[in-house]
């Protein structure tokens, strides 16, 4: 089954839930497993306990290690991609819908739900990690709701400096047709990035002319299709740079660049440095 065949929307909590928190501990993801592209209205936090986990977020790929936090914003397309061996993590989803908006939670969540800001994806700040550890400990120990909410408020406060501009592709206000357009396109690119992808193929997936497709993609995603494709390819290349002994030419071919020089130029355009300098500096993709 291809990623596009999987339902794109996922409801994490139940309609009758009495708490905004859905906590799952000791989840595992191993290299070679398949994780389908999805989104949900809940904010999701992955706290890596052991191993290394790579998470696809649109065209971005973040690689998290033990102790790191991965923040998945509401309505953000995501999937697990690659882990080095087996990664173990705890996952917390917070329902930010209207049914849990009351008092101080309303003040915190409303701007977030309205799309005025989103959080950075990879968090390694010591203050945030400490607040997250206290929150996850309360959830693990089954503390009463008052304690859990109090620790969540402290965590949310510590996280607030890591707000960033909202991306057009992570917007609740999109219509079902617009979401279908984004999902079909993302899924096709993520499945065929190692191949030559023509604009006509992408447009055909959505039954559009090339001009209409390009215009719609730019309006909804915020950049041209080729920019998204190349950004995604570069982030896949970073995984190979870190986890394999392949040559630059071999990596370029495996992520869809037929020309090594073009790969190097594209890498420097999106990352600011050459592939060798990027790997040496240990920068995050």
pLDDT digit of tens for each residue in the chain (285 aa)?
344 444 455 666 656 667 788 999 999 999 888 888 888 878 899 999 999 999 998 888 999 999 999 999 888 889 998 767 899 999 999 887 666 656 556 667 777 766 677 899 999 999 999 999 999 999 999 887 889 888 998 998 899 899 887 666 666 677 878 888 988 899 899 989 999 999 999 999 899 999 999 999 998 888 899 999 999 999 999 988 887 788 999 999 999 998 899 999 999 998 899 998 887 775 544
pLDDT score at 225: 94
Distance CA 40, CA 222 (A): 21
The strand pairing partners of 70, in sequence order, are 46, 122
pLDDT score at 99: 66
pLDDT score at 114: 65
Query: Is residue 14 packed enough to be buried (19+ CB in 10 Å), middle (13-18) or exposed (0-12)?
Result: exposed
Distance CA 93, CA 82 (A): 21
Distance CA 127, CA 277 (A): 30
102 close to 109: Cβ distance less than 8 angstroms = no
DSSP helix/strand/coil, 170: coil
pLDDT score at 14: 59
The set of residues, in sequence order, having a beta carbon less than 8 Å from that of 230 and lying 6+ positions away, is 266, 269, 270
The strand pairing partners of 63, in sequence order, are 54
Query: Is residue 243 packed enough to be buried (19+ CB in 10 Å), middle (13-18) or exposed (0-12)?
Result: middle
The strand pairing partners of 169, in sequence order, are none
CA 222 to chain centre: 16
CA 155 to chain centre: 20
Q: Map out the domains of the chain with their CATH numbers.
A: 3-9+21-164 (2.60.120.10), 176-281 (1.10.10.60)
DSSP helix/strand/coil, 114: coil
pLDDT score at 201: 93
pLDDT score at 204: 93
Query: Is residue 198 packed enough to be buried (19+ CB in 10 Å), middle (13-18) or exposed (0-12)?
Result: exposed
């Amino acid at each position: 089954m291809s990623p596009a065949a999987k339902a794109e929307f996922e409801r994490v909590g139940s309609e009758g839930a009495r708490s905004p928190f859905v906590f799952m501990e000791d989840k595992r993801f191993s290299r070679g497993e398949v994780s389908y592209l999805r989104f949900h209205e809940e904010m999701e936090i992955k706290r890596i306990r052991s191993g290394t986990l790579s998470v696809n977020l649109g065209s971005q790929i973040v690689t998290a290690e033990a102790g790191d936090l991965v923040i998945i914003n509401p309505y953000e397309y995501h999937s697990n991609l690659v882990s080095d061996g087996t990664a173990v993590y705890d996952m917390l989803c917070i329902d930010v819908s209207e049914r849990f908006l009351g008092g101080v939670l309303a003040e915190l969540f409303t701007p977030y739900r309205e799309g005025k800001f989103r959080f950075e994806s990879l968090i390694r700040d010591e203050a945030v990690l400490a607040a997250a550890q206290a929150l996850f400990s309360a959830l693990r120990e089954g503390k009463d709701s008052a304690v859990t909410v109090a620790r969540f408020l402290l965590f949310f406060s510590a996280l607030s400096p890591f707000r960033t501009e909202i991306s057009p592709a992570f917007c609740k206000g999109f219509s079902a047709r617009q979401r279908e357009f984004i999902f079909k396109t993302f899924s096709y690119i993520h499945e065929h990035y190692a191949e030559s992808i023509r604009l006509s193929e992408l447009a055909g997936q959505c039954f559009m002319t090339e001009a209409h497709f390009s215009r719609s993609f730019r309006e909804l995603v915020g950049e041209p299709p080729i920019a998204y494709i190349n950004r995604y390819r570069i982030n896949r290349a970073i995984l190979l740079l870190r986890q394999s002994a392949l040559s630059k030419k071999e990596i370029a071919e495996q992520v869809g660049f037929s020309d090594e020089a073009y790969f190097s130029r594209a890498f420097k355009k999106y990352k600011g440095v050459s592939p060798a300098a990027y790997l040496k500096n240990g920068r995050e993709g």
